[in-house]
Amino acid sequence: MGRLKAAFDATKALKPELFPLVLYKRILRLHYGLPKELKEIGDAYVKEEFRLHKKAEPGQALVFLKGWTDYCTDLSKQLSQNGIVKGELGKKLDPSMLDDFKDEQLRQLLDLKSEAEKPKFFQP
């Protein structure tokens, strides 16, 4: 329990401006537990999104960080302590959420879907 308490105390002492970096690193660490193809797609997507939101307005940044914090929490529940996938990955997207998406977000979602559905060619 000592390591858990130390991690919790370190999080409390964290400067708010460092939270995005800590979250970013945590997500990339979690991606090590994903299958290789998903890790590659996920890492590229996370890096691009965080890069694009570096200069976001405070209100937009809060929404952005809340979404990625939820993703981080969900993914950590779906991975075992050893980083191996437990059961099914991801969660269903509520169709009513699509009404709130901007055109650019819908384009990104379609790009992500097409990338995920591309045939995989494995090298021996």
For residue 92, being part of any structural domain is answered with: yes
For residue 6, being part of any structural domain is answered with: no
Give the count of domains, the chain: 1
For residue 23, being part of any structural domain is answered with: yes
pLDDT, tens only, 52-72: 999 989 999 999 999 999 999
| CA-only gyration radius of the chain, Å | 16
What pLDDT was estimated at residue 64?
A: 93
For residue 7, being part of any structural domain is answered with: no
**Do 105 and 113 contact (CB within 8 A), yes or no?**
no
For residue 119, being part of any structural domain is answered with: no
Range of the domain at 92: 14-113
Which stretches within 17-102 are classed as H helix?
19-30, 36-52, 58-78
For residue 38, being part of any structural domain is answered with: yes
DSSP code at position 92: P
For residue 25, being part of any structural domain is answered with: yes
CB atoms within 10 A of CB 68: 19
Q: Out of 6-10, 19-23, 69-73, 74-78, which region has the weakest mean confidence (pLDDT)?
A: 6-10
Once rounded to an integer, what is the mean pLDDT over residues 72-81?
85
For residue 8, being part of any structural domain is answered with: no
